């Protein structure tokens, strides 16, 4: 996505934004993993460690839209975790690149049941 | 859907403290106590909230989570501690609010899991429960960040292990709360953003407060909000008090004192509220520190009042308004010049004032020769300005007819390609800058700049230093005089009238824009007055006002 200033243009790739969002999501409480969108993609990820797995970034006229595909820890309040992640990702992305995020959509792809003996 | 606890409700804390093991009702009472104390300290916890998102709601979220958990058991008579814990955990899960609420619900979940369905909780069980609680919480995130509530939970669990061989007693909780507070104080060393913001972690503090509430209950101490006003002295947030000075408050008074009788905090706080605002009370080493903002007429009242309560050891009084004023004056920022790209055209100009220098710099000038009071820089000064620039294409804007000659001499002496644009006034210099293009051809750009000179009319307003008669205009010393393009055209006693005369002479009605550069010898009121008058006479013209900070000339006016 492109931003113009008096000296020229600044191009920020979708991948760069996705990396920030990815990191912020993993630091959010309740998120224990990020998931692939589809099986085919999942297989591809096994071969190539993708630093932006589970994150999709789109830039349209309205601004930046981020889709997150997360795995949540079983036993937490999922709705709260999802909204915290969205909040966290939005804040980190806006803080890092200085442009407003139009929306962050969270897709809970699964739950992980931890072995708590 | 929140139920306010009637405190004290279930058991007497002191009775509970000596029982050696905790049952369901005991846990309920402690949980209630923790929550009440958190409520009293809610705002404090909110104010610490900077991580992960600084939205100031940690205290509120943790409290709401606790209240949801409490609602689950408010009417319960369950004696089995395990079952009670599970109910609490369930309530917390359902009602978890915010990031901190979710973590808190996980802590309860682990705690409950360890208690399983035991009737009573003894020492070893508590230790295991704290460990389990911590483990569960840590599992909820892939990258646990240290320096948060997780760290505090961890430190508590590790600390409590040492009591494993002992019988559960009040002493345990006393020590645990101490460790919790120590861990909280240490969080800025683990999480840089806390150190940057000058706070401890809000979630960790919330957890410590919950435990502290339980301890206070067991010791029979008050859980009321006024007791909460008393903080450890090193946490008194003075900086924030400065930001919110209410109108009418003139002085900040801080009194350190030792009360001669145990202090009735409610009364103390209430009495102080009659005198002033922004009240904070800190306690440390048997001494109290009271902080308050008061209006001028009451400035000694806090001191007199406190004196009646005990021995004053130290008094500090500070004038708030003066403090605020001194904060406002910021040092002037350095002028930023556009760096010269090798081989491109660089423009240097002579400027009489800092404000004008700033404007020139913002238009793309690469160096400024300070004209000073006399506007008579030497050839050497002009040369020094551009000799070291990384280009051989130089344009000089002298902005004064006396300097044109010096500039031309400097051009001749230099080995670089120097062109002098014969600007005689500041507005001409500024207009020439608008034609500047560093990438252009030196000759072409110089031509364009020369053309720009005729497009702008220059007006100068100053004070006559002697009495003269020129061009049919009679001037007395000390009068305000107006010059148009260097020619005296009007004089008078009033600044605004002189400006209007100038504009009329310059046929401003045929023009579009009037720019005023005000100098050092004019007040803000005068500037505004002149601007108002001009607006009245020329309502459809564009009028701009800039600070030129030039000496001698009250106003330099550009008419385009």
Interface test with B, best of A68, A81, A84 (most B CBs within 10 A): A84
CB B291 within 8 A of CB B280: yes
CB contact under 8 A, A80 and B98: yes
Nearest chain A residue to B93 by CA: give it.
A77
Residue closest to B149 by CA, chosen among B201, B82, B217, B75: B201
Contact (CB<8Å) B105/A77: yes
Interface test with B, best of A70, A80, A93 (most B CBs within 10 A): A80
Q: Which secondary structure element, helix H or strand E, spans residue B192, and what is its range?
A: helix B192-197
Q: Domains, chain B, ranges and CATH?
A: 13-225 (1.25.40.340), 238-328 (3.30.70.3100), 345-455 (3.40.50.510), 457-559 (3.30.1180)
* The pLDDT of residue B4: 40
- Closest alpha carbon within chain A to B132: A116
In Å, how far is B153's CA from the nearest CA of chain A? 15
A60 to chain B, closest Cα gap in Å: 26
Report pLDDT for B232: 52
Kindly list the residues from chain B whose CB atom is less than 8 angstroms away from the CB atom of residue A7.
Answer: none
Helix, strand, coil percentages (3-state) for chain B, rounded to 5, are 50, 20, 30
Rounded CA-CA distance B333/B475 in Å is 40
Whether residues A27 and B102 touch (CB distance < 8 A) is answered with: no
Of B99, B106, B113, the CB nearest to A84: B99
Q: Domain extents for chain A?
A: 2-112
Q: What average pLDDT score do residues A53-71 get?
A: 86
Beta carbons within 8 Å of B368's beta carbon, 6+ residues apart: B335, B337, B348, B349, B350, B351, B357, B360, B361, B385
Find the helix or strand (DSSP H, E) in which B176 lies.
helix B170-190
Contacts of B141 in chain A (CB under 8 A): 27-32, 73
Per-residue pLDDT at B240: 43
| Interchain contact, A91 vs B52, CB within 8 Å | yes
CA-angle at B215, arms to B212 and B218, nearest 5°: 155
Q: What is the pLDDT of residue B317?
A: 85
Cβ contact, residue pair A84, B109, below 8 Å: no
Say which of B102, B142, B145 has its CB closest to residue A80. B102
Inter-chain CB pairs, A–B, below 8 Å: 71
Write down the pTM of the prediction. 0.52
pLDDT of residue B402: 83
- Tens place of pLDDT per residue across chain B (560 aa): 333 443 444 456 666 766 778 889 999 999 999 999 999 888 888 888 877 777 778 888 999 999 999 999 999 999 999 999 999 999 999 889 888 899 999 999 999 999 988 999 888 899 999 999 999 999 888 788 899 999 999 999 999 999 888 888 888 889 999 999 999 999 999 998 888 888 889 999 999 999 999 998 888 887 776 665 555 555 554 444 444 455 567 788 888 888 888 877 777 877 887 888 777 777 766 778 888 888 888 888 889 899 888 899 888 888 877 766 665 555 556 677 777 777 788 899 998 888 888 888 888 888 888 877 677 888 888 888 888 888 888 999 999 888 888 888 888 888 888 999 999 888 999 888 888 888 888 888 898 889 888 888 899 998 888 787 877 888 888 888 898 888 888 888 888 888 998 889 888 888 888 989 988 888 888 888 888 888 888 888 888 888 888 888 888 999 98
**Residue B142 sits at the chain A interface (C-beta within 8 Å):** yes
Q: Is A32 close to B140, i.e. CB distance below 8 A?
A: yes
Q: Edge-to-edge strand order for the sheet containing B480-484?
A: B487-492, B480-484, B457-463, B555-559, B513-518, B542-547
Q: Do B105 and A114 touch (CB under 8 A)?
A: no
Rounded to whole angstroms, the Cα distance separating B45 from B49 reads 7
* Res B128: pLDDT: 93
- B559 closest CA partner among B484, B461, B450: B484
Q: Do A29 and B143 touch (CB under 8 A)?
A: no
- Taking the Cβ of residue B357 and every Cβ of chain A, the question of whether any pair is shorter than 8 Å is answered with no
Residue of A nearest to B110 (CA): A116
Q: What CATH homologous superfamily does A2-112 map to?
A: Cation efflux protein, cytoplasmic domain (3.30.70.1350)
Subunit contact B93:A76, Cβ cutoff 8 A: yes
| Nearest C-alpha neighbor of A17 from the set A106, A97, A83 | A97
Using a 10 angstrom Cβ sphere, with 0-12 exposed, 13-18 middle and 19 or more buried, the burial of residue B549 is middle
What ipTM was assigned to the predicted interfaces of this complex?
A: 0.74
In angstroms, what separates the C-alpha of B424 from chain A's closest C-alpha? 30
Question: In chain B, what residues touch A30 (CB-CB under 8 Å)?
Answer: 102, 140-141
- Per the CB < 8 Å rule, is B105 touching A73? no
Q: B207 — contact with chain A (CB < 8 Å)? A: no
């Amino acid at each position: 996505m492109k931003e113009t200033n008096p000296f020229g243009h600044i191009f920020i790739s979708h991948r760069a934004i996705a990396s920030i969002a990815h990191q912020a999501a993993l630091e959010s409480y309740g998120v224990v993993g990020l998931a692939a969108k589809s099986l085919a993609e999942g297989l591809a990820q096994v071969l190539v460690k993708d630093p932006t797995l589970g994150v999709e970034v789109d830039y349209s006229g309205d601004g930046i839209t981020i889709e997150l595909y997360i795995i949540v820890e079983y036993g937490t309040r999922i709705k709260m975790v999802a909204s915290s992640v969205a909040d966290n990702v939005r804040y980190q992305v806006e803080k890092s690149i200085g442009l407003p995020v139009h929306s962050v959509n969270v897709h809970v792809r699964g739950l992980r049941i931890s072995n708590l003996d | 859907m929140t139920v306010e606890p009637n405190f004290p409700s279930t058991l007497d804390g002191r009775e509970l403290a000596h029982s050696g093991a905790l049952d369901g009702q005991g846990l309920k009472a402690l949980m209630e106590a923790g929550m009440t104390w958190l409520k009293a300290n809610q705002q404090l916890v909110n104010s610490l909230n900077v991580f992960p998102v600084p939205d100031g709601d940690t205290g509120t979220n943790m409290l709401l989570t606790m209240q949801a958990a409490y609602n689950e058991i408010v009417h319960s008579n369950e004696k089995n501690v395990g079952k009670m814990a599970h109910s609490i955990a369930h309530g917390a899960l359902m009602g978890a609010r915010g990031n901190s609420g979710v973590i808190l619900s996980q802590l309860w979940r682990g705690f409950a899991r360890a208690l399983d369905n035991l009737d009573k909780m003894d020492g070893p069980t508590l230790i295991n429960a704290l460990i389990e609680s911590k483990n569960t919480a840590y599992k909820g995130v892939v990258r646990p960040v240290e320096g948060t509530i997780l760290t505090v939970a961890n430190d508590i669990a590790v600390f409590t292990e040492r009591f494993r061989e002992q019988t559960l007693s009040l002493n345990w909780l006393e020590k645990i709360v101490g460790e919790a507070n120590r861990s909280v104080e240490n969080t800025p060393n683990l999480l840089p953003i806390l150190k940057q913001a000058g706070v401890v972690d809000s979630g960790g503090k919330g957890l410590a407060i919950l435990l502290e509430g339980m301890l206070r209950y067991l010791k029979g101490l008050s859980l009321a909000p006024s007791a909460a006003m008393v903080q450890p002295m090193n946490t008194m947030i003075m900086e924030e008090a400065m930001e919110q000075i209410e109108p009418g408050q003139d002085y900040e008074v801080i009194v350190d004192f030792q009360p001669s009788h145990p202090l009735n905090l409610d009364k103390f706080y209430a009495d102080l509220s009659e005198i002033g605002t922004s009240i904070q009370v800190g306690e440390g080493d048997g001494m109290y520190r009271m902080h308050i903002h008061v209006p001028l007429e009451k400035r000694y009242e806090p001191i007199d009042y406190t004196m009646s309560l005990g021995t004053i050891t130290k008094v500090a009084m500070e004038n708030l308004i003066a403090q605020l004023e001194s904060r406002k004056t910021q040092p002037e920022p350095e002028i930023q010049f556009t760096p010269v790209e090798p081989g491109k055209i660089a423009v240097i100009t002579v400027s009489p004032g800092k404000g004008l220098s700033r404007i020139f710099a913002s238009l793309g000038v690469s160096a400024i020769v300070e004209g000073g009071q006399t506007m008579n820089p030497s050839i050497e000064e002009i040369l020094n300005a551009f000799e070291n620039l990384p280009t051989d294409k130089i344009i000089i804007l002298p902005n004064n007819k006396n300097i044109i000659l010096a500039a031309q001499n400097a051009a001749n002496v230099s080995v670089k390609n120097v062109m002098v644009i014969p600007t005689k006034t500041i507005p001409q210099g500024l207009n020439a800058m608008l034609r500047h293009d560093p990438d252009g051809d030196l000759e072409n750009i110089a031509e364009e700049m020369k053309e720009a000179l005729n497009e702008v009319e220059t007006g100068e307003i100053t004070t006559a230093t002697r009495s003269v008669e020129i061009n049919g205009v009679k001037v007395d010393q000390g009068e305000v005089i107006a010059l148009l393009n260097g020619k005296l055209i009007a004089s008078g006693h009033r600044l605004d009238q002189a400006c209007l005369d100038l504009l009329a002479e310059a046929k401003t009605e045929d023009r579009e824009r009037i720019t005023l550069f005000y100098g050092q010898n004019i007040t803000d009121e005068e500037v505004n007055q002149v601007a108002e008058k001009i607006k009245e006479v020329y309502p459809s013209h564009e009028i701009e006002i800039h600070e030129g900070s030039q000496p001698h000339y009250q106003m330099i006016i550009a008419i385009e």
